[in-house]
């Protein structure tokens, strides 16, 4: 009789805890990063008799969270890939707008300037045509100045975002380290039982870190997890954490010492670094080289020509780096008198040979960054390179977003709470609990019957 009661009590306890677990699942159906938990049950050690064994009830062997390491790793990698490509696309689009702004872009200003050269060539003595040429030269210089300033502004934004991201990474690394410590202690106190909620919190922190940089992980026997950058630099090594910092040169240091800038990839930080040190740095250098080449080429012809007053020409453009104009920004116009345009090569007022030579510079071969090209092609090439990189980043972002969403669906299919399934489990455990309660009542009735027999 006592064995019946004990069996009933074991069933009551087990199904009560199962009901509590199902209730917790339902309560956390909308909790981000929560993994559905399941109660694992097993039969208790049976009582052995000569005629055989009689079971003694049920026991809970563990509360297991629904988790797949492969799917979780895949989600982290795809998340890092998406935030990398999306960051490149977002920033690259800003750069592209600077260069191809319809009506106000450098290409448009470049075309209008060369058109004005043709007008001067058609009427070399016309002061109005010469004034338009100077105005268009100034407009072109302004576009270079504006573009360079906006490039610098974008660069400052990138540096600011990197700084914020590093602070966020440090906070997450500290969070993971703290959770490692608690998880290790908890696993020891529970004789190996898994602290499911803490594991979910750590997984969420690592996923958040993956939005900033690609990481890899390894788990130790004590339950702690080490976290490394994609190239193997340790951010969390068991109980030890390594913080990141940004030095005055824009380099990212690990532990204040090791420069790991080139080792970081993936995530928003990887995208920021790739854009800053790749797309932006290259575009800014090419912009400067094109401005310098424009100034050099035009100044060489201008100085070698004769102006409308019969005097030798003076430089048309100044550029940053010119020893005499080191205070100027990237490109400037140094002539404000239309008479000083050296349209002639010395053949008189109607001579337009020098201005024709200037107009031909649009298609003349020049060397820019070691490549033979033309001024027109160099600008179109700069715009085209940025546009291609933006396109690649957009396609990469779309592809990685699709992969990330698929990974999310797979993870949710494994770890997410399904209310229909929980409702079915709720009914199952409720019925089992009620049956166990009825079994307890039967045991009590048998006991009362037996007691009544002894009282007679």
What tens-digit pLDDT sequence spans the chain (456 residues)?
Answer: 567 888 889 999 999 999 999 999 999 999 999 999 999 999 999 888 888 888 889 999 999 999 999 999 999 999 999 999 999 999 999 999 888 776 678 888 999 999 999 999 999 999 999 999 999 999 999 999 999 999 999 999 999 999 999 999 999 999 999 999 999 888 666 665 789 999 999 999 999 999 999 999 999 988 899 999 988 899 999 778 999 999 999 999 998 888 999 989 999 999 999 999 999 999 999 999 999 999 999 999 999 999 999 999 999 999 875 444 444 488 999 999 999 999 999 877 788 999 999 999 999 998 888 889 999 999 989 999 999 999 999 999 999 999 999 999 999 999 999 999 999 999 999 999 999 888 887 777 776 676 666 666
pLDDT score for 443: 73
pLDDT score for 445: 75
Enumerate residues 6+ apart whose C-beta is below 8 A from 454: none
C-alpha torsion sign, points 319, 321, 323, 328: positive
Closest CA to 199 of 371, 33, 80: 33
pLDDT score for 55: 87
Enumerate residues 6+ apart whose C-beta is below 8 A from 263: 229, 230, 231, 232, 233
pLDDT score for 198: 94
Enumerate residues 6+ apart whose C-beta is below 8 A from 452: none
| pTM strictly above 0.85 | yes
Enumerate residues 6+ apart whose C-beta is below 8 A from 88: 271, 274, 275, 279, 389, 393, 396, 397
Interatomic CA distance for residues 212 and 229, integer angstroms:
11
**DSSP H or E stretch at residue 277:** none
**DSSP H or E stretch at residue 410:** helix 375-415
Interatomic CA distance for residues 126 and 338, integer angstroms:
9
| 305 close to 340: Cβ distance less than 8 angstroms | no
pLDDT score for 320: 77
Round to the nearest angstrom and report the end-to-end CA distance of the chain.
20
Beta bridge partners of 41: 60
pLDDT score for 227: 95
Beta bridge partners of 37: 65
* Angle of CA points 267, 203, 212, to nearest 5°: 15
Own/partner contacts of 234-237, CB < 8 Å, gap of 24 or more, are 235/169, 235/173, 235/176, 235/209, 236/173, 236/176, 236/177, 236/180
**Can you give 186-240 as a three-state secondary structure string?**
HHHHCCCCCCHHHHHHHHHHHHHHHCCCCEEEEECCCCCEEEEECCCCEEEECCE
Q: How many residues does the chain have?
A: 456
User: For residue 349, is it left (φ>0), alpha (ψ between -120 and 50) or beta?
Assistant: alpha
pLDDT score for 50: 82
Burial of 211 (0-12, 13-18, 19+ CB in 10 A): buried
* Angle of CA points 110, 114, 118, to nearest 5°: 165
Residue for token digits 């009661």? 5
Interatomic CA distance for residues 348 and 381, integer angstroms:
38
Q: Residue 260 in 3-state DSSP? A: coil
Interatomic CA distance for residues 405 and 79, integer angstroms:
9
pLDDT score for 192: 59
Interatomic CA distance for residues 12 and 28, integer angstroms:
24
293: tokens are 């080449």
Residue for token digits 């500290």? 174
pLDDT score for 73: 95
* Angle of CA points 176, 251, 292, to nearest 5°: 145
pLDDT score for 239: 75
pLDDT score for 294: 94
| 98 close to 151: Cβ distance less than 8 angstroms | yes
Q: Residue 428 in 3-state DSSP? A: helix
Interatomic CA distance for residues 306 and 152, integer angstroms:
38
């Amino acid at each position: 009789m006592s064995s019946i009661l004990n069996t009933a009590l074991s069933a009551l306890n087990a199904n009560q805890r199962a009901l509590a677990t199902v209730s917790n699942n339902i309560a956390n159906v909308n909790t981000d990063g929560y993994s559905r938990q399941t109660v694992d049950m097993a039969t208790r050690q049976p009582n052995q008799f000569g005629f055989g064994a009689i079971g003694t009830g049920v026991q809970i062997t563990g509360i297991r969270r629904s988790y797949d390491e492969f799917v979780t790793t895949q989600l982290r990698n795809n998340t890092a890939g998406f935030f990398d490509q999306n960051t490149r696309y977002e920033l690259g689009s800003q750069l592209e707008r600077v260069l191809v702004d319809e009506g106000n872009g450098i290409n448009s200003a470049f075309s209008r300037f060369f058109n004005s050269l043709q007008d001067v060539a058609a009427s070399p003595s016309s002061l109005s045509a010469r004034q338009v040429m100077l105005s268009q030269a100034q407009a072109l210089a302004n576009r270079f100045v504006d573009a360079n300033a906006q490039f610098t502004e974008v660069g400052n934004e990138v540096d600011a975002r990197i700084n914020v991201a590093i602070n966020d990474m440090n906070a997450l690394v500290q969070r993971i380290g703290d959770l490692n410590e608690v998880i290790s202690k908890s696993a020891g106190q529970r004789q190996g039982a898994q602290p499911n909620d803490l594991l979910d919190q750590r997984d969420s922190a690592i996923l958040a870190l993956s939005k900033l940089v690609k990481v890899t992980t390894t788990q130790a026997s004590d339950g702690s997890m080490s976290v490394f950058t994609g190239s193997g630099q340790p951010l969390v090594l068991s109980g030890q954490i390594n913080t990141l910092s940004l030095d005055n040169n824009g380099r990212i240091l690990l532990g204040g010492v090791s420069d790991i800038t080139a080792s970081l990839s993936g995530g928003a930080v990887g995208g920021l670094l790739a854009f800053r040190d790749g797309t932006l740095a290259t575009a800014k250098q090419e912009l400067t080289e094109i401005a310098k080449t424009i100034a050099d080429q035009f100044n060489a012809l201008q100085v070698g020509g004769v102006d409308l007053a019969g005097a030798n020409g003076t430089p048309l453009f100044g550029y940053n780096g010119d020893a005499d104009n080191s205070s100027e920004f990237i490109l400037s116009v140094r002539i404000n008198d239309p008479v000083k345009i050296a349209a002639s090569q010395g053949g008189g007022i109607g001579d337009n040979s020098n201005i024709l030579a200037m107009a031909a510079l649009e298609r003349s071969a020049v060397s820019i960054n070691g490549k033979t090209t033309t001024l027109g092609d160099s600008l179109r090439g700069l715009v085209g390179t940025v546009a291609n990189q933006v396109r690649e980043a957009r396609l990469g972002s779309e592809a990685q977003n699709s992969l990330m969403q698929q990974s999310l669906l797979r993870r949710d299919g494994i770890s997410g709470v399904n209310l229909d399934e929980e409702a079915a489990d709720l009914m199952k455990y409720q019925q089992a609990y009620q049956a166990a309660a009825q079994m307890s009542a039967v045991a009590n009735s048998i006991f009362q019957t037996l007691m009544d027999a002894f009282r007679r």
